[in-house]
Structures are given as structure tokens and as C-alpha cells.
Amino acid sequence: MERIEIRTRAEDLRGLFYITVRHSETTLARGLEPAEEVVLQDADGGYRSGTVEEIGFTLEDTEYVVRLGARLPDDLAAERLSGAELSRDQQDIHDVVDLIGELRRLVVTV
């Protein structure tokens, strides 16, 4: 899983469902794929889960539309970024956090 640093502060992400990220503003060594899960690190150092929803191309850059997920504590972000296989219990914790993030998004849009 890739980590993407964004210049946006955590406070400014509240209420947003999507964020557009320009590839040139990241430290990514490769392009992202549709539906790829990522970890976003905001300007305040906090983490959020994210999923690449759309990819657009301009003459100068590639732009990713990332659906914002749940805020992640440092330990869960580190586990996702490590790429290590998680125990069943740890995977269940990650799944619950993702579900909470999805529910928050759905509740706000209803």
C-alpha cells in the first residue's frame, strides 16, 4: 500500500468525501491504479485511508481522485504501509475501521 502526503490540513478535510491529488506533488515511484487503496498523510501528520476512484490525465500531470476513508491511528497506518500479512484479528480491526469510515460517509449523504 502506498503512502501519499497531502498538503491539506486535517481540519480542512472534514466534510470532504474526495480529494484530487496530482502525481507530481507526491513522492510516488509509480502510478496508481483504479480502486487501489492508499494511506493519506495530511499536513498535520494524521493518517486516513483512501481509495483511488478516478484517474485523469492532463498534458502536464496525472491526477487521482481519491475517496477519503476513515481516520487511522498511527499503528493501523503503519500496519497498512508495512505490507506485512495481518493476523485474522488485526485484519478484522482494519475491516471495522473501514466500515466505520464508509458509514460516516453514507450517514452524511443521506
Contact 52, 34 (CB under 8 A): yes
The pLDDT value recorded for residue 108 is 64
CATH of the domain at 54: 2.40.240.20
Helix (H) or strand (E) run with residue 58 in it: none
Q: Which tens digit of pLDDT belongs to each residue from 49-95?
A: 999 999 999 999 999 999 999 999 999 999 999 989 999 999 999 99
All three cell numbers of 35: 480502486
Q: Look up the domain containing 62 and give its range.
A: 2-109
Q: Which tens digit of pLDDT belongs to each residue from 32-60?
A: 999 999 999 999 999 999 999 999 999 99
